[in-house]
Amino acid sequence: MSRQTLGVAVVDFGWMGTRAPAPTAASGSTIPSSRWPRSSSWSPTRNPIGSVTASIATASPAAPTAGEDVLTNDRVQAVSVTAPNFLHREIGEAVARAGKHLWIEKPVGVLAADAEAVAAARVQSAVGFNYRNVPAVQHARTVIEQGAIGTVTNACFRLLTDYATHPHGALTWRFQREQGGSGVLGDLVSHGVDLAWLLLGEIHSLVADTAIFIGERPKPTGAASHFALAEGGEVGQVENEDYLNCLLRFTSGARGSLESSRISVGDQCNYGFEIHSTKGALYWDFRRMGELGVSLGEDYLDQTVQTALVGPGQGETGAFQPGSDIALGYEDLKVIEAARFLRSIADGKPCCATVDDAVRSARALDRSYGCLDAGFPA
């Protein structure tokens, strides 16, 4: 297939809009393959997202200019949506109705119904479940699928971080039900549910407990992005959960737990999993993304754990580096996401996390609410 240029617009430029799509501009060259159309390059500029327009700047002279309406512009074939959660449904449906391919951030709306509505549009889509793109995570999946560690018995997933620990952390859209929907559930647990599904399969049932530990925050005085602090002004109520603890039962019979917090002092992106099975175990930590702890063998007792360094043979590592343990970073995960999205468009079939995966994750999140509200007296 010959190379094509794809016009891609980005809707909204907060943290994800400025950090994540930028490196993907280079994805046509970073991940070389003549099968994939080249993405145009773009540069972030502010845009009026309320009217569902976005700015796009590309290397191609035929490309749309900043501020044009991406939905009616036939030089835009795909749209990356990095807006706050409450806008995902409106923008996602509009993009799909306009016949454009959709690259949208998780959790795809505030409720499962929002993700379902966007999914119903059936365009090629990609969703920002970037941790499933980690080559070590892919390697873990392969090890499990090959049966090398026997049958998985139990696993724990953790997503603990500190972005909301500061008492002066501004009361942005993230902390409000109408705009953010859930709190740490949409932000981090959505990733955890996706990883759990990827590695262990369907979740059959769950029971969850949530809590708000910092009940009030200062309102921002102007536009405020992720991690913004505010001081001295009016204070408002935090409306969604800081913390979740959850027990999982998988259709396979495996058991699991998932703990997540946005107010975990001392934890910076402490994301990972431990998977135990009848013959071995797997350990992964996002902070050492290129390593997978693997316990394999027939020893059972005192069986060693070795650290496998991810190399060109695992996931898309080889598209970036020729040797093992030359570290990939967070933004590389977005480049992989972009490349898979482009391949989905080129092939006309999904090859990445899609809005259907967001629906699955969102349904589990919806079910997590209120599970333990009645309580089980000790």
Task: State the residues that interact with ligand NAD by CB under 6 A.
Answer: 12-17, 49-50, 82-85, 105-106, 128, 130, 172-173, 187, 223, 225-226
Q: Sort 97 into a burial class: Cβ within 10 Å, 0-12 / 13-18 / 19+.
A: exposed
Separation between Cα atoms, residue 255 and residue 150, nearest integer Å? 15
Q: Which is nearer to ligand NAD, 81 or 310 (CB)?
A: 81
Separation between Cα atoms, residue 365 and residue 194, nearest integer Å? 11
Q: 218-239: string of b/e by CB count within 10 Å (b at 16+)?
A: bebeeebebebebeeeeeeebb
Give residues with Cβ within 8 angstroms of 60, minimum separation 6. Answer: 5, 7, 40
Cβ atoms of 262 and 188 within 8 Å: the answer is yes
Per-residue tokens: 136: 């070590």
Separation between Cα atoms, residue 218 and residue 170, nearest integer Å? 5
Q: By C-alpha distance, which of 159, 186, 378, 373 is closest to 287?
A: 159
- Neighbouring-strand partners of residue 218: 235
Q: Which is nearer to ligand NAD, 13 or 250 (CB)?
A: 13
Q: How far is the CB of 338 from ligand NAD (least distance, A)?
A: 12
Cβ atoms of 350 and 341 within 8 Å: the answer is no
DSSP 94-126: HHHHTT-EEEE-TT-SSSHHHHHHHHTT---EE
Separation between Cα atoms, residue 306 and residue 294, nearest integer Å? 5
Q: How far is the CB of 2 from ligand NAD (least distance, A)?
A: 32
Q: Which is nearer to ligand NAD, 153 or 270 (CB)?
A: 270
- Neighbouring-strand partners of residue 127: 104
Nearest residue relative to ligand NAD (C-beta): 14
Q: How many Å is the Cα radius of gyration of the chain? A: 21
Q: Which is nearer to ligand NAD, 38 or 106 (CB)?
A: 106
- Neighbouring-strand partners of residue 79: 9, 102
Q: How far is the CB of 185 from ligand NAD (least distance, A)?
A: 11
Q: How far is the CB of 355 from ligand NAD (least distance, A)?
A: 13
Q: Which is nearer to ligand NAD, 84 or 256 (CB)?
A: 84
C-beta neighbour count of 119 within 10 angstroms? 23
Q: How far is the CB of 116 from ligand NAD (least distance, A)?
A: 17
